[in-house]
Amino acid sequence: MKNVIVIGVSGGSASGKTTVANRIKEEYKDSVELLSHDFYYLPHDDLPISERVKLNYDHPNAFDTGKLINDIKQLKQLNAIERPVYSYTEHTRLAETVKVNPAKVIIVEGFMIFENTELRELMDIKIFVDTDADERLMRRIIRDVNERGRTLESVITQYANTVKPMHELFVEPYKKYADIIIPRGGMNDIAIDLLIHRIKAILAED
């Protein structure tokens, strides 16, 4: 393995970033490792859950982005890392960590990953998954109620108070840094096929 390739996948909440990243991973299995910016949410064990639910999770200060940057640099130097594990239902970091081995392709996924210049500059290919806000809100309601322990009312309140305004400040303006914009999200087969071919060419160069 000569050079490690870092692919950034950004896009609004519930746009389909994880779906796109997983489809690439399925194709290349052990040649690809996934890191989510969300793994690096700061822990809030000092606060009771009743306070944790009220925090703004859509602001750059909610993340330990420095640790993510450091972990990517380690993987680029072919060193394994221990990444944090985050619980959306508990709104905090769990005690365990997960070992991530170096791989030829590292996919970094997160709604705010293009906002940080140092993080952005570590990426060789930048992808923005562009899905309409109403579609994203519908997907988020279904996902957060079914998988993240939320009520319909709490999803809508959080969306109006923080998710939407922070998206307009920290996500949408950074779309201009993307090399590739994928409309509609994770089921855009043509866009995903093109990406998979590009990655195949990169892997063949090594």
Ligand X SMILES: Nc1ncnc2c1ncn2[C@@H]1O[C@H](COP(=O)(O)OP(=O)(O)O)[C@@H](O)[C@H]1O
| Least distance (Å) between residue 204 CB and ligand X | 28
| Least distance (Å) between residue 188 CB and ligand LLZGTKA7 | 17
Backbone phi, psi, residue 56, to 5°: -90, 105
Is residue 11 annotated as involved in ligand binding? yes
| Least distance (Å) between residue 15 CB and ligand X | 4
β-pairing, 81-87 vs 92-100, is: antiparallel
| Of the candidates 9, 4, 13, 7, the residue with the CA atom closest to the CA atom of residue 113 | 9
Give the residue with the Cβ less far from ligand X, 11 or 84: 11
Size of the site for ligand X (CB under 6 A): 13
Lookup result for tokens 């093109």: 194
β-pairing, 81-87 vs 180-183, is: unpaired
Contact map string, positions 133 to 162, toward ligand X, x by CB under 6 A: ------x---x-------------------
* Helix, strand or coil, per DSSP, at residue 7: strand
| Of the candidates 143, 21, 40, the residue with the CA atom closest to the CA atom of residue 85 | 40
Residue 84 site contact among ligand X, ligand LLZGTKA7, none (CB < 5 to 8 Å, cut-off depends on kind): none
Q: How far apart are CA 60 and CA 63, in angstroms?
A: 6
Handedness of CA 36, 160, 120, 202 (dihedral sign): positive
Is residue 31 annotated as involved in ligand binding? no
Residue 163 site contact among ligand X, ligand LLZGTKA7, none (CB < 5 to 8 Å, cut-off depends on kind): ligand LLZGTKA7
Is residue 17 annotated as involved in ligand binding? yes
User: Interface residues with ligand X (CB under 6 A)?
Assistant: 11, 13-19, 139, 143, 185-187
Annotated binding-site members for ATP: 11-18
